């Protein structure tokens, strides 16, 4: 672990901007994040509540072209996408957001290696920040994380007066700071383990979901659900996408990859007209089961980092943690 | 006493309703929609300044339509949506029992304390804080003065821009759209079984959240709600990227009122704006 003065950290950021890196920092109220052009725009605040949209769009944009096509008389020409090699450095990701990157990387690298995701993820360096925010929607400690979890971060910082403590956690992080080691002062600090007092037994939740696919519970908790996809779109781990072809003209067009959400009625609608998830209760069950059972069954981790965005922003105040607590109490 | 609890209890005991769509308290500054189908859950019902949702959005849903008689808690603004749905032949007046109250405004969003600063913009210019159409009224405070509205001055501000400036303003706003369609889902008047944006043969509006398609989606929705939007503001409240959709809808409402002396959802049986033609209709805006 190292200690660095805040102004030295800013110098590093300015140097990184100068050498062509894309630096992402939060706005002054933490509601959103943007590319910054100078360290003066840096906003590192451990009391921010999670931004409205999660950081996932950096590696998984809301829309992106997969290729372009052109029809000629007897042929179709395809034009591939050139991947951007620009490095993106995220400053101050919350532990719940930082972890989400490595979580979704599993599904994008399971059987098919998704180069659209990987090209961005490999070029992204995540600088996590210890979090001091907690409201009634946060539950990171119930899904195996904590306010000082370093999972998913390449570098992790903690505020300490006029200094930062810096943890270098990955090869990527090490390479990034290599030229700047003279600013860092090595220090040994006893790392405090967060007190975690869990109330949810995730194994129990998982077993209940497995055994109760047709339980009326799913209907009772989702009756008020409007079926908007807001929860999925703002979630740092929801990663479903739709692929559509867009024609500019009869002869030319492009294939697009766009965010999609399992809460939409159309999501599972078959061309035949049959819809296996024909009512909202089945779609809501899918949301919960995917996050707390299916993903765990397949990848040995949850598809939820407890950021609480979906509950905070739900138009009809459905609280995912309340749902899990209810299942846990069964 | 005409309190909510007594009214609801009575409605179930005398079989006057099969279901009440209402609000339940989550904490002191939050409520959520609740569906009460028997006397047992009646004590969960609340109706206060944190009752934000426009519950009439549920009235057109298939699983709700199957009930014979539905009681619904509705603020004056929500009632305008119910009236409009009746006037558009989407629900039957006889099946709906409207329980209302005099309203002193609701907060902008959950979690905010009810005070002058946090009152929702729509409430400040509301003409139906004491509703005109209802079946039962619960005891409620008299109307008190609310802060002056700012929405028309914001619309005027946009009107005074050059077309290029206005285009730039909306280009900026629409570029944020992620096409989650929360606006549509929260809107009681967006009840199309198949929304134009879900049609793909032909692909009228591309589903990609690109600038061009975002313009198409948001403007088509605004056109489609012209003379139909009752200004409940739910679309704007639920938008995750804070697009000021109320400005669009308010502008269309102002035009409808100025050109046709029409305000949406005020009276049952009133012909709808777009569904009605009269020789006296003003035509000088057609150029």
Q: Are A155 and A129 in contact (CB under 8 A)?
A: no
Give the closest of B27, B180, B208 to A230, CB-based: B180
Report pLDDT digits (tens) over A25-34. 998 888 999 9
Is 80 exceeded by the pLDDT of residue A192? no
Is 90 exceeded by the pLDDT of residue A130? yes
* pLDDT tier for residue A84 given thresholds of 50, 70 and 90: confident
Task: Please answer yes or no on whether B178 and A244 come within 8 Å at the CB atom.
Answer: no
**Angle A319-A324-A327 from CA coordinates, rounded to 5°:** 130
Single out the residue of A243, A255, A242, A244 nearest to residue A69, CA to CA: A255
Is 70 exceeded by the pLDDT of residue A21? yes
Q: Testing the interface with B: which of A61, A216, A218, A224 to mutate, by most B Cβ within 10 A? A: A224
A227 to chain B, minimum CA–CA distance in Å? 7
Beta bridge partners of A25: A34
Single out the residue of B66, B59, B5 nearest to residue B33, CA to CA: B59
Residue B237 contacts A where some CB pair is shorter than 8 Å:
yes
Q: Are A302 and A296 in contact (CB under 8 A)?
A: yes
Residue B63 contacts A where some CB pair is shorter than 8 Å:
yes
Mean pLDDT of chain A: 93
Beta bridge partners of A124: A88
Peptide linkage before B173 cis (omega within 30 of 0): no
Residue B110 contacts A where some CB pair is shorter than 8 Å:
yes
Give the closest of B210, B240, B242 to A233, CB-based: B240
Three-class SS of B123-158:
HHCCCCCCCCCCCEECCCCCCCCCCCCCHHHHHHHH
A184 three-state secondary structure: coil
How far is Cα B109 from Cα B119, in angstroms, rounded to an integer?
Answer: 9
Task: Please answer yes or no on whether A53 and B180 come within 8 Å at the CB atom.
Answer: no
For the CA atoms of B79, B85, B89, B90, the dihedral, rounded to the nearest 10 degrees, stands at -120
For A217, A290, A303, the CA distances from A296, given in Å and listed in that order, are: 22, 8, 7
How far is Cα A266 from Cα A156, in angstroms, rounded to an integer?
Answer: 41
A163 three-state secondary structure: strand
ipTM over 0.85? The verdict is yes
Residue A28: per-residue pLDDT: 86
- The CB density around residue B266, as the number of other CB atoms within 10 Å, is 17
Phi-psi group of B202: left, alpha or beta (phi > 0 → left; psi -120 to 50 → alpha; rest → beta): beta
Which is higher by pLDDT, B204 or A238?
A238
Question: Which chain A residues are within 8 Å of B108, Cβ to Cβ?
Answer: none
Give the closest of B33, B181, B240 to A313, CB-based: B240
Length of chain B: 287
Which ranges constitute the DSSP H helices of B33-181?
A: 62-65, 76-87, 121-124, 151-159, 163-175
Which is higher by pLDDT, A322 or B1?
A322
Phi-psi group of B34: left, alpha or beta (phi > 0 → left; psi -120 to 50 → alpha; rest → beta): beta
Q: Are B78 and B54 in contact (CB under 8 A)?
A: yes
Q: Which residue of B has its CA nearest to A267?
A: B198
Q: How many pairs of residues across A and B have Cβ atoms under 8 Å apart?
A: 87
* All residues at 6 or more sequence positions from A248 whose CB lies less than 8 Å from its CB, including other chains: A254
Q: Are A132 and A147 in contact (CB under 8 A)?
A: yes
Residue B269: per-residue pLDDT: 94
* pLDDT tier for residue A191 given thresholds of 50, 70 and 90: low
Is 90 exceeded by the pLDDT of residue A108? yes
Q: Could you tell me which residues of chain A have a Cβ less than 8 Å from any Cβ in chain B? A: 52-53, 62-63, 136, 223-224, 226-230, 232-234, 242, 244, 246-247, 256, 258-259, 261, 264, 266, 279, 313, 315-319
Task: Please answer yes or no on whether A224 and B35 come within 8 Å at the CB atom.
Answer: yes
Task: Please answer yes or no on whether B207 and A258 come within 8 Å at the CB atom.
Answer: yes
- The CB density around residue A243, as the number of other CB atoms within 10 Å, is 10
Q: Are B76 and B130 in contact (CB under 8 A)?
A: yes
Average pLDDT, 10 consecutive residues per value, chain B (287 residues): 86 95 94 93 93 96 94 97 96 96 94 93 93 93 89 90 95 94 96 89 87 93 93 94 94 90 93 87 77
How far is Cα B155 from Cα B176, in angstroms, rounded to an integer?
Answer: 20
What is Dmax (Cα atoms) for chain B? 61
Residue A189: per-residue pLDDT: 73
Report pLDDT digits (tens) over A204-232. 999 999 999 999 999 999 999 999 999 99
Report pLDDT digits (tens) over A169-181. 999 999 999 999 9
How far is Cα A323 from Cα A223, in angstroms, rounded to an integer?
Answer: 13
Task: Please answer yes or no on whether A234 and B34 come within 8 Å at the CB atom.
Answer: no
Length of chain A: 330
Q: At what angle do helices B211-224 and B245-260 cross, to 10 degrees?
A: 40
B210 to chain A, minimum CA–CA distance in Å? 7
How far is Cα A290 from Cα A287, in angstroms, rounded to an integer?
Answer: 5
């Amino acid at each position: 672990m190292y200690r660095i003065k805040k102004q030295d950290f800013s110098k590093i950021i300015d140097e990184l901007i100068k050498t062509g890196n894309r630096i992402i920092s939060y706005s002054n109220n933490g509601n959103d994040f943007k590319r910054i052009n100078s360290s003066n725009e840096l906003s590192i605040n451990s009391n921010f509540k999670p931004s409205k949209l999660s950081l996932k769009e950096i590696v998984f944009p809301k829309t992106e072209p997969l290729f372009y096509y052109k029809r000629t008389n007897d042929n179709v020409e395809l034009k591939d996408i050139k991947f951007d090699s620009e490095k993106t450095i995220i400053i101050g990701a919350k532990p719940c957001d930082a972890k989400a990157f490595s979580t979704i990387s599993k599904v994008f690298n399971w059987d098919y290696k998704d180069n659209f995701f990987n090209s961005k993820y490999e070029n992204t360096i995540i600088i996590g920040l210890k979090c001091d925010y907690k409201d009634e929607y946060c539950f990171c400690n119930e899904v195996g994380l904590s306010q000082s979890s370093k999972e998913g971060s390449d570098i992790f910082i903690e505020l300490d007066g006029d200094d930062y403590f810096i943890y270098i956690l990955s090869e990527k992080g090490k390479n990034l700071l290599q030229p700047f080691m003279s600013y860092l002062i090595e220090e040994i600090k006893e790392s405090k383990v967060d007190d975690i007092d869990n109330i949810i037994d995730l194994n129990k939740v998982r077993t209940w979901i497995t055994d109760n696919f047709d339980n009326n519970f799913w209907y009772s908790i989702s009756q008020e659900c409007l079926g908007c996809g807001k929860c999925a779109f703002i979630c740092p781990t929801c990663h479903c996408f739709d692929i559509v072809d867009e024609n500019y003209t009869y002869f030319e067009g492009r294939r697009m990859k766009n965010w999609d959400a399992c809460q939409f009625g159309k999501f599972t609608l078959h061309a035949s007209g049959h819809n296996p998830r024909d009512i909202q209760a089945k779609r809501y069950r899918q949301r919960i089961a995917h996050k707390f059972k299916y993903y765990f069954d397949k990848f040995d981790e949850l598809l939820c980092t407890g950021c609480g965005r979906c509950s905070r922003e739900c138009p009809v105040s459905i609280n995912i943690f309340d749902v899990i607590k209810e299942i846990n109490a069964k | 006493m005409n309190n909510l609890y007594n009214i609801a209890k009575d409605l179930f005991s005398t079989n006057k309703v099969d279901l009440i769509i209402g609000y339940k308290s989550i904490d002191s500054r939050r409520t959520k929609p609740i569906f009460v189908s028997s006397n047992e859950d009646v004590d969960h019902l609340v109706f206060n300044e944190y009752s934000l949702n426009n519950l009439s959005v549920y009235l057109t849903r298939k699983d709700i339509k199957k009930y014979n008689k539905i009681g619904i808690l509705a603020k004056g603004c929500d009632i305008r949506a119910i009236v409009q749905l009746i006037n558009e032949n989407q629900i039957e007046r006889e099946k709906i029992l409207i329980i209302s109250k005099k309203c002193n405004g609701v907060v902008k969003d959950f979690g905010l304390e009810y005070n002058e600063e946090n009152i929702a913009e729509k409430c400040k210019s509301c003409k139906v804080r004491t509703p005109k159409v209802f079946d039962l009224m619960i005891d409620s405070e008299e109307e008190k003065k609310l802060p002056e509205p700012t929405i028309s001055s914001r619309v005027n501000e946009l009107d005074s821009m050059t077309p290029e400036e206005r285009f730039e303003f909306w280009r900026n706003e629409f570029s944020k759209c992620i096409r989650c369609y929360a606006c549509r889902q929260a809107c009681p008047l967006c009840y199309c079984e198949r929304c134009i944006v879900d049609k793909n043969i032909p692909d009228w509006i591309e589903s990609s959240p690109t600038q061009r398609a975002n313009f198409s989606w948001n403007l088509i929705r605004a056109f489609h709600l012209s003379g139909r939007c009752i200004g409940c503001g739910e679309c704007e409240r639920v938008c995750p990227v804070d697009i000021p959709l109320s400005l669009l809808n308010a502008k269309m409402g102002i035009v409808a009122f100025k050109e046709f002396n029409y305000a949406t959802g005020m009276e049952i049986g009133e012909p709808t704006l777009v569904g009605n033609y009269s020789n006296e209709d003003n035509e000088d805006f057609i150029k």
